[in-house]
Amino acid sequence: MHALIVVSHPNRESLTHAVANHIASGLSASGRHHTFELADLAAEGFDPRFTAADLALHRRETPPAPDVAAEHARLDRADALVLVYPVYWWSFPGMLKGWIDRVFTNGWAYDEEPGGKLVKKLGHLAVHLVGIGGANMGTYDRHGYATAMKTQIDHGIFGYCGAPVVTSELLLPSDREAPSSHIHKARALGQNLFSRKE
């Protein structure tokens, strides 16, 4: 099986990149013949801006731009999508949100049909969300941030498209062993990424 691991952080030396790399190494070490592609949005220069061309695609007036079509092809090859990102303002960083905005398009990720019927098209794509946060879980719980993120991201984005969220993990500094415990969790996630499908 094949995983697309998308990392969104401008610094390749960041904990976010280390977590993504250890997910990949865990998958490679799983003893199975799984493959992965690591998509570094910052290094690849993905343009997150939603433009008039993206709106025209949403309205089905034009085909996807080449960069969006390339992302569709990457996702079409994948059995699992792993998003690894720092938590900015209790959500995705802007580049990753722009990737979702531009790539999870009407007609590809879902169909809005006449009469308001919604057809969810990504039921085959298992999603694993790994956020790297700066606050402790007490802060997330006290203010309802974790619940809000699950509502917005897990349900609002992936549930809308029918993509099952298998993992929704926040790696936070409240763990006394962080960041080494984050690396251990990342490697374990990679090793077990497809265990439910085998």
* CATH number for position 55: 3.40.50.360
Asked if residue 158 belongs to a domain, the reply is yes
Q: What pLDDT digit, counting tens, does each position of 113-167 carry?
A: 888 899 999 999 999 999 999 898 889 999 999 999 999 999 999 999 999 999 9
Asked if residue 29 belongs to a domain, the reply is yes
Q: What is the Cα–Cα distance from 149 to 92, expressed in whole angstroms?
A: 9
Q: What is the pLDDT of residue 175?
A: 54
* Entry field: residues in the chain: 198
pTM: 0.94
Q: Apex CA 184: angle with CA 125 and CA 88, to 5°?
A: 65
User: What is the band of 198 on the pLDDT scale with cuts at 50, 70, 90?
Assistant: very low
User: What is the band of 23 on the pLDDT scale with cuts at 50, 70, 90?
Assistant: very high
Asked if residue 196 belongs to a domain, the reply is no
Asked if residue 117 belongs to a domain, the reply is yes
Asked if residue 198 belongs to a domain, the reply is no
Asked if residue 195 belongs to a domain, the reply is no
Domain that holds residue 112: 1-190
Query: How many domains does the structure of the chain reveal?
Result: 1
Asked if residue 54 belongs to a domain, the reply is yes
Asked if residue 38 belongs to a domain, the reply is yes
